[in-house]
Structure 1
Amino acid sequence: MKNQISGALSNFFFEYETPRQVLVRNRRVGVVCRLIQLGVLVYIIGWVFIYEKGYQSTDTAVSSVFTKMKGVGYTNESGKERVWDVSDYVFPSQGDSSFVVMTNYILTEGQQMGKCPELEGRHSCESNADCEGGSFKRTGHGQMTGVCVNTTKTCEVLAWCPVEDDHTIPNPALLMSAENYTLFIKNSVTFPIFGVTRSNLVEGIDAGYISKCLYDPDTAPLCPIFRLGDIVSLSGFNFGKIAHEGGAIGIVVDWTCNFDLDLKYCIPQYNFHGLYGNPDETDQTRASMGYNFRYAKHYLENSIPKRTLLKVFGIRIDIIVQSMARKFDIIPTLTAIGSGVGIFGVATVVCDLVLLYLLPKREFYKNMKFKYTDTQVQHDSETLGLDKSINYTFEANARQVQGQSNDPDSEAGSIETEVSKK
């Protein structure tokens, strides 16, 4: 018993088993095998390592963005001149990564709480019965009082009076001067895995450069100051159309960095995308176009609360930071190599399928590749005291002789060596 356990342990630790292999000399199968292996090699080197950079680990950034608009607008409505500065035309004013620049508006001044007729064309009535007192209409301006105003043929409402008339949008936009406003973007990113922090104010972007530069994708691609008209045109929109009814534009700050190179090569790229607006004439068929919202400025006049209502049409700017940093790492490198080596097994599987199921002499190859156990032959061999390997060898040699062919691409060149002879 002790000898058996000792022998088993010895065999386990000091013996190595290898799969049985059959060398097949067949031109067609050999070419198929090499082509598949070549394809796998091209995939590993070209796609996994060169294109996907499978030898590097990756990290995305934690980012912060703040913005600042500059510029002055001028309007002259019915002889009323007005200058608009940043505090008037930017909403909100805190310098967020998402904000609106006003380009057009409808102004309703001197509103105060009271009773007045609804806007003509809305909630028309013929008598008081058509105006249910105390009720509201979704598109109305206030609560109906139950009175039908004969002069306008509309229901009387309790609201901020006079009610806003937004049927006609000024065209061209009142603040076409917004085309020359400038936007300053300050962005910083941190890649926590690699411990790297970068700002879009990269090497060479100092106060002197910022004071005179203006972004241009060809001549000044790193300048963080953008002209609003250039942003609109680079996004594919027409400034006159988007300024009239408003729209949305996305500015993407792209940080794609390779930290295997010097840190100075980690620089941002700016891309501009028209998200919503009027890029072509087909937009005129839409049920709802542009971008707008209402903003009220409240004040007291002779102790009476009043307000000035603005329906603002503007360009919504959304600044989006996307990032991907890479650096060499031995773990993904070994993983990529291991998976590539495993894929090489595809060639063996395909070639085995061709040999065993598609070629005319597939039975011969099956005999070469597999050993068959015949219960009756095994019983007779044990009865006569013969070594089982002799029977296997005789059987295989007999099948090989029967399958001989003059075809150079067939099994004629296939050789099986049986070393276990009695």
Structure 2
Amino acid sequence: MAGPGKPCAGLYSFLFEYDTPRIVLIKSRKVGLMNRLVQLAILAYVIGWVFVWEKGYQETDSVVSSVTTKVKGVTVTNTSELGLRVWDVADYVIPPQGENSVFVMTNMIITQNQTQGLCAEFPDKTTRCHSSENCTEGYVGTHSNGVQTGKCVAYRNSTEKTCQVFAWCPVEDDEHVPKPAFLHNAANFTLLVKNNIWYPKFNFTKRNILPNISKSYLKNCKYNAKTDPFCPIFRLRDVVESAGQNFQEMAVEGGVMGLQISWNCNLDKAASYCLPKYTFRRIDNKDSDHTVSPGYNFRFAKYYKNAGGRDSRTLIKAYGIRFDIMVFGKAGKFDIIPTMINIGSGLALFGVATVLCDIIVLYFMKKKYYYREKKYKYVEDYDLVCLLCVRICSHSFLSLYLFLLPSISLSLCLSRRKRINMDVVHPFFLPLKEAWKLY
């Protein structure tokens, strides 16, 4: 039967050829030692990393968390603008409750007795003018405090002129931020963090106020990484300084601090071993040269009626520190399914040692051609070989076909059944009847 054509040779080989592994024992110290070292490294990886370090025998679950906060502290200020004033939680915590965060006001710019009317805009490069021709009626810039009227007027009885605007007057002057911070004593305020966690897959719950913590302890404790690592009450200065920042510098323009609570629990152990770990870091970018509006600030107003019955307000630009409480964690517990999966994966990795050693032996060693000959063996279809043998034996031009037939084919054919004594009957003159018996 004619073989397949060249275009179909690849498909023919794919469909009608089969590869099976062959075990060859090679006695070589180098290869044998390398094989054992690779297997030892794989075994160390599976046991040490997968099972001991990563706990590959456990089913895992991510934490579900809720956080509530409470700030405490009182301070007093005495300024020419506000006089003697006491500041408590209701004054400096804005808003009273946030979602996993709390804002503590540390500095402010206050603009009192604002009413709606006409006044000069705050001077900058876009609002300064020499005459009304420099002002556009109805114009509102990005940083405008109001709508321009088209007139150029003196700014607060000075020689400097700016465009007139319809706005809340007098307009805010936020050019100079108070230093030191208005509420610099906020460094001694305290923050209570109450955190409840839940691992739904294991139905495991816990809170950061541990069962062994009493009310008397909570009234006096302050968090300290060494002496009181599980106290849930934090002094604001300690939080900022634990992140490598200076509280008084940060209090001037504000910023964002991250209070991170980590819950990494091994539920194969007792629940008492599942404990929170607190870490702190600054989240915002304090580099004023590479950010717009550095720090953290916003504006709010307090509205009232003045003596004349007009709507008035006190505008406050509040600077402060926002504390974001971020909870993350993972719990693990023994489960047979991930255990068997990781064991199977580890056993499969042992095949890497065999592949690596085969590459070294067959492509890089001096006797690579000798090893290739022992490693690979090509076998023809057994039935096809014997069929060709019988046809050749029955053909009148036997010598020509025997010349074309590989010697190994005749040998395989004659070994399938009983052999004929070749000393008596030469294969060139083997009768068709005897050849058929061989088949």
TM range (shorter): 0.7 to 0.9
Which residue type is aligned with residue 66 of structure 1? Answer: T
Q: How many correspondences in the alignment?
A: 367
Deviation at 1:353, TM superposition (A): 1.3
Kindly report which structure 2 residues correspond to 1:338-417, keeping only aligned pairs within 5 A, or say none.
338-373=344-379, 376-381=406-411, 385-387=414-416
Kindly report which structure 2 residues correspond to 1:10-89, keeping only aligned pairs within 5 A, or say none.
20-78=22-80, 80-89=83-92
Aligned to 1:409: none
Using the alignment, how far apart are the partners of 2:102 and 2:238 within structure 1? 17
Using the alignment, how far apart are the partners of 1:139 and 1:215 within structure 2? 43
Deviation at 1:323, TM superposition (A): 1.0
Matched, 1:110 2:113: yes
Q: Pick from 124, 128, 137: which aligns with 1:133?
A: 137
Using the alignment, how far apart are the partners of 2:90 and 2:64 within structure 1? 30
Matched, 1:246 2:245: no
1:116–1:158 CA contact under 8 A, matched in 2: yes
Using the alignment, how far apart are the partners of 2:360 and 2:290 within structure 1? 59
Structure number with greater CO (CA < 8 Å, separation at least 6) is 1
1:237–1:277 CA contact under 8 A, matched in 2: no
1:144–1:158 CA contact under 8 A, matched in 2: yes
Using the alignment, how far apart are the partners of 1:363 and 1:290 within structure 2? 72
Identify unmatched segments of 5+ residues in structure 1.
1-17, 391-422
Using the alignment, how far apart are the partners of 1:242 and 1:314 within structure 2? 8
Aligned to 1:292: 297
Identify unmatched segments of 5+ residues in structure 2.
1-19, 381-404, 420-439
1:98–1:316 CA contact under 8 A, matched in 2: yes
Which residue type is aligned with residue 363 of structure 1? Answer: Y
Cα deviations by residue, 1:84-120 (Å, 9 ceiling, x for unpaired): 1111111111253122111110010100101000113
1:200–1:268 CA contact under 8 A, matched in 2: yes
Deviation at 1:20, TM superposition (A): 3.8
Q: Pick from 256, 278, 283: which aligns with 1:275?
A: 283
Deviation at 1:81, TM superposition (A): 1.0
Using the alignment, how far apart are the partners of 1:277 and 1:315 within structure 2? 13
Change (3 A) 1:303 1:26: same
TM-score (normalised: structure 2): 0.80
Aligned to 2:198: 190
Deviation at 1:378, TM superposition (A): 4.4
Matched, 1:144 2:144: no
TM-score (normalised: structure 1): 0.83
2:69–2:102 CA contact under 8 A, matched in 1: no
1:147–1:155 CA contact under 8 A, matched in 2: yes
User: What fraction of aligned residue pairs are identical, expressed as a percent?
Assistant: 47
Aligned to 2:225: 217
Change (3 A) 1:368 1:387: farther
Greater displacement, 75-84 / 18-27: 18-27
**Structure 2 SS opposite 1:276:** coil
Cα deviations by residue, 1:303-325 (Å, 9 ceiling, x for unpaired): 21111001111011111000110
**Structure 1 SS opposite 2:52:** helix
Aligned to 1:313: 319
Which residue type is aligned with residue 415 of structure 2? Answer: L
Cα deviations by residue, 1:51-92 (Å, 9 ceiling, x for unpaired): 111111110111100101010122111171111111111111
Using the alignment, how far apart are the partners of 2:291 and 2:279 within structure 1? 29
Cα deviations by residue, 1:310-359 (Å, 9 ceiling, x for unpaired): 11110111110001101111111111111010000011111111222222
- RMSD of aligned alpha carbons: 1.9
Deviation at 1:365, TM superposition (A): 1.8
Which residue type is aligned with residue 143 of structure 1? Answer: V
Using the alignment, how far apart are the partners of 2:337 and 2:239 within structure 1? 43
2:285–2:291 CA contact under 8 A, matched in 1: no
Aligned to 1:157: 165
Which residue type is aligned with residue 121 of structure 2? Answer: E
Cα deviations by residue, 1:226-257 (Å, 9 ceiling, x for unpaired): 00111110111101110111111100011010
Kindly report which structure 2 residues correspond to 1:254-269, keeping only aligned pairs within 5 A, or say none.
254-269=262-277
1:105–1:170 CA contact under 8 A, matched in 2: yes
Deviation at 1:19, TM superposition (A): 5.2
Which residue type is aligned with residue 366 of structure 1? Answer: R
Matched, 1:326 2:332: yes
Deviation at 1:284, TM superposition (A): 5.2
Deviation at 1:387, TM superposition (A): 4.0
Which residue type is aligned with residue 203 of structure 2? Answer: G
Deviation at 1:364, TM superposition (A): 2.3
Using the alignment, how far apart are the partners of 1:167 and 1:365 within structure 2? 84
